[in-house]
Structure 1
Amino acid sequence: MDNQNTKEEIALQPTDQTLNKNKPTPKSNLRIITLISTFGGLLFGYDTGVVNGALLYMARPDQLNLNPFMEGLVASSLLFGAAIGAVMGGRLSDKYGRRKNILYLAIVFFFATVGCALAPNSDVMIGFRFLLGLAVGGASVTVPTYLAEMSPAEDRGRVVTQNELMIVTGQFLAFLMNAILGNLFGSTSHIWRYMLSIATIPAVILWVGMLAMPESPRWLVSKGKISEALNVLKRVRDEACAVVELKEIKDLSDAEAHLEKASAKEFAVTPWIRRLLFIGIGVGIVQQITGVNAINYYGTQILKEAGFTMQAALIANTANGAISVTATLVGMWLLGRLGRRKIFLIGLTMTTITQCLIGIFSMTLSDQSYFPYLILSMTVTFMAFQQGCSAPVTWLIMSEIFPLRLRGLGMGTVVFFSWIANFTVGLGFPVLLSSIGLSQTFFTFAFGGLMAIIFVAKWLPETKGRSLEQLEQCFRDYKNIDCRKLL
């Protein structure tokens, strides 16, 4: 005990580095770590968004010659790969570390992007899109987990949702590059290859940048690397807070030391963990059944279906990307002021209303000259509430709710179900659009939105303002009336 106190006193003593005024502050270190790691989110966004526009060119008879089903397969093969990658990413990040896993993902992003850009036929394209999906799915689990474990409780919402900001920034950049290349070089037969290949640049930046980033302190504690964890915490906290937080993390880790190695069977046999799994899966599916990714992947086709020309649809679709970035910034501000549940319910209510309006307008006003602009205004409104309210809360909640020893596995599992729901929407949307039309398709999504509102209102816990360790204690005692009030 005396040795432990001595170590803590030594840790609290100022060093020459601490006294060096030129040393980066903890907040600036955290900003750099957040910026570099969220290039994984940027790649997630670009690689899922670039198909929205590129698909119209690669579907041409002189290119990959895709019918509606094959279009859906090319778009959704990445999503199926992402479902597998989410589970693998969670397990690998638990085993090898969050940082190292992100480094591996950057390599996969690079080579899979090159494979897609050079694909000679649809079969090769689908194969490399699946491989790219493994990286997207791995990043969708590992990056938010890494950020949640690096950030202090009071800043966790803002820090983790910066990954969502980078995702929508990646989508906007994809839409913007599609519009620029499509309008300047639309007659070039292989223009879609250039649209896809741009993603190699952020992949290189992610790999080089993560070489200098630290490992998650919570993962280090879970592996018994206490001194390394303290050094990392000192980089992103003031020294006194670092020591206190390390003790909190270590106490919880010691309390769980007698438990068996984390495994999937705990989700079935431990009631409070089973409850968290149910909530996490529900939140992940809720994000998808509103149809957000129908707009992200097929927005250009929706606008073309509404009456825009090809080039005009590519330009108009950038409005969806621009509003997504703006709305995410607003959402980050809201997370510091409102609870997660309230923001989520506002977002779901407004997106469901917007889906209903798209369906109604498609039935009654499709012959009007202003109809294309009306549909554009509705998709922009939808994306504003989706990306400003629903999406940031989704990824934040999934990164917060699981205990440390199950965090990678748990988040990987719930994100798997989210990607499977995403895959279903991505594969089915072109078929629905060609078979039942724009109106009925969006009424279907509106029904999904209604189911999402009911789920969130009944089940979603409130996690704002508590450390990950405090949340874990509350979730363990969820039957206790005091804990229920807190959540």
Structure 2
Amino acid sequence: MGYFAAYLVGTFTTGFGDRTWQVILASSAIVSTLAGLQRLVVRQPESPRWLASKGRIIEAINLVHRYVGEDYTVHPASQVEVKKGAWRMLFSKKYRCRTLVGGLFYACQTFPFFGISIFLPILMENMNVTNPLVTQLLYYALMIAGVLVGIILPRRYFLIGTFLASAAFLLVLSIWHQAPLALTLILFSLFSLTISAALVMDYAYPNELFDASIRTSGVGMCIAISRIGAVAGTFMLPIISNAWGSQAIFIICGTVLLIGGIICYQWAPETSLRFAKHNRSTINEPSGSRVTSSRYSDSTID
């Protein structure tokens, strides 16, 4: 929704002459102020694992019941004092696979997302779209729809599926140069729906890959690695577009997404509570916590 609102503000803010760009940039202060006030007024709950580590086990259990469900409780091991993890632990044998998959999947998403979203008007022009404004509005509307879809699905298979599907849509666009305009827009709309659904994982999945003792460092490292993809996409795609056109962008972005899908297939663990509940699989494996259905006495959550 923020991306969509930013697009609308940037498109329809006019009448300020040479200062228009400054007004557009300053408009973000309004949203930032509202977000800051919301954080001050609305009480944000602590994590159950942190509460348990401080001996506040009843609060932790109540929080899990409220936000996750009555089927879950807090693992007894959560009451053990959490020790601060060192940065080097992220690349130890225990965590390095999760660190790399968390950062690389994020980078492979941000490369096409930032590049295509930011330079969407240029792409629309290269694709001979006669009404780029309507197309761009559709693109961002489908982004919102995609996020809503992404909230409810299991992590691992969702990551793999969205990478492969979005790569397929872009590669078809790159190969079928003379596709009818209507089909081109449909494929591009499906791409926007799929890639935006996958973005949900950027905020949830890295947090679920690490134990509480090292979670903040792990998430920070994943985000740092992802910025490589964001910078590369933002910097390289307009150069590629000017040199070889939109077809080359689709080929490169599709290839990056395909690589992301392969990485997730090889190394991404399943962490979804919903999926684990029905399949009695393990999440957050490094901590040894097990999540199962309430039919089992060891129903726990890390």
TM bin (shorter chain): 0.7 to 0.9
**What root-mean-square deviation, in Å, do the aligned CA atoms of Structure 1 and Structure 2 show?**
3.1
Residue 471 of structure 1 is matched in structure 2 by: 283
Give aligned-pair identity as a percent. 16
Q: Which amino acid is the alignment partner of residue 214 of structure 1?
A: Q
Residue 321 of structure 1 is matched in structure 2 by: 140
Residue 277 of structure 1 is matched in structure 2 by: 99
Do residues 214 (structure 1) and 39 (structure 2) align?
no
Q: How far, CA to CA, are the matches of 1:196 and 1:313 in structure 2?
A: 23
Residue 22 of structure 2 is matched in structure 1 by: 193
Corresponding pairs, count: 279
Residue 248 of structure 1 is matched in structure 2 by: 75
Deviations 1:109-136 (A, max 9, x none): xxxxxxxxxxxxxxxxxxxxxxxxxxxx
Q: How far, CA to CA, are the matches of 1:190 and 1:377 in structure 2?
A: 37
Deviations 1:71-110 (A, max 9, x none): xxxxxxxxxxxxxxxxxxxxxxxxxxxxxxxxxxxxxxxx
Alignment of 1:382-397 (within 5 A): 382-388=191-197, 390-397=198-205
Residue 157 of structure 1 is matched in structure 2 by: none
Contact 2:48 2:63 in 1 (8 A): no
User: Measured at CA, do residues 217 and 454 of structure 1 come closer, stay the same or move farther in structure 2, by a change above 3 Å?
Assistant: closer
Q: How far, CA to CA, are the matches of 2:63 and 2:88 in structure 1?
A: 36
Residue 354 of structure 1 is matched in structure 2 by: 169
Do residues 377 (structure 1) and 209 (structure 2) align?
no
Do residues 175 (structure 1) and 7 (structure 2) align?
yes
User: Measured at CA, do residues 462 and 234 of structure 1 come closer, stay the same or move farther in structure 2, by a change above 3 Å?
Assistant: closer
Do residues 299 (structure 1) and 120 (structure 2) align?
yes
Contact 2:51 2:59 in 1 (8 A): no
Q: Which amino acid is the alignment partner of residue 126 of structure 2?
A: E
Contact 2:89 2:95 in 1 (8 A): yes
Do residues 452 (structure 1) and 260 (structure 2) align?
yes
User: Measured at CA, do residues 176 and 398 of structure 1 come closer, stay the same or move farther in structure 2, by a change above 3 Å?
Assistant: same
Gaps of 5+ in 1: 1-168, 479-487
Alignment of 1:401-440 (within 5 A): 401-440=209-248
Contact 1:178 1:314 in 2 (8 A): no
Contact 2:160 2:262 in 1 (8 A): no
Residue 102 of structure 1 is matched in structure 2 by: none
Contact 1:215 1:232 in 2 (8 A): no
Q: Which has the higher helix share?
A: 1
* 1:202 alignment partner, one of 20, 31, 44: 31
Gaps of 5+ in 2: 290-302
| 1:450 CA drift (Å) | 2.0
Deviations 1:126-151 (A, max 9, x none): xxxxxxxxxxxxxxxxxxxxxxxxxx
User: Measured at CA, do residues 288 and 209 of structure 1 come closer, stay the same or move farther in structure 2, by a change above 3 Å?
Assistant: closer
| 1:354 CA drift (Å) | 1.3
Deviations 1:250-270 (A, max 9, x none): x3351x65x5x31112123x3
Alignment of 1:122-271 (within 5 A): 169-181=1-13, 185=14, 188-212=17-41, 213-218=43-48, 220-221=50-51, 225-227=54-56, 231=59, 234=62, 237=65, 245=73, 248=75, 251-254=77-80, 261-268=84-91, 270-271=92-93
| 1:459 CA drift (Å) | 1.3
Contact 2:270 2:283 in 1 (8 A): no
